[in-house]
Copies of this chain bind each other. A is one copy, B any other.
């Protein structure tokens, strides 16, 4: 599940449980706010996108899966940060997704909130990669 992650990434590995989505959010929020120049609004956008991606990853598992897990990783370079959320659930191909009236809010939000979002098949499962263009902090603050 972790083989394809870059060697210098920060990785959070959680049980696929709704009570842990807040932990994923604070991790990303701490990294983003101490390491990158981001407005409060863009920081909120990133947090919400992470929340949506984790919710979908958790929901990708059926009720009878043994020890389902979700990985949230952070990777950065000079121009951008990338957050990946990986599950080994039922799989998702956005190109095949049927547009519906009621659902589909989470995926749509992710696409709007970050600068780039793509879904990769994981065999099994899915990785959603979300990136935001932003410079590094000049002086890191906390």
A14 at interface (Cβ–Cβ under 8 A)?
yes
- How many of these chains are in the complex? 2
Partner of A10, one of B14, B29, B34: B14
Q: When the two chains form their complex, are residues A67 and B7 in contact, meaning their CB atoms are under 8 A apart?
A: yes
Interchain CA distance A88-B27 in the complex, whole Å: 23
A105 at interface (Cβ–Cβ under 8 A)?
no
Q: When the two chains form their complex, are residues A11 and B12 in contact, meaning their CB atoms are under 8 A apart?
A: yes
Q: Digitize A13-28: 1 where CB-to-B-CB distance is under 8 Å, 0 elsewhere.
A: 1110001101100110
Q: When the two chains form their complex, are residues A8 and B140 in contact, meaning their CB atoms are under 8 A apart?
A: no
Residues of A with Cβ closer than 8 Å to B?
7-8, 10-15, 19-20, 22-23, 26-27, 29-31, 34-35, 67, 140, 142
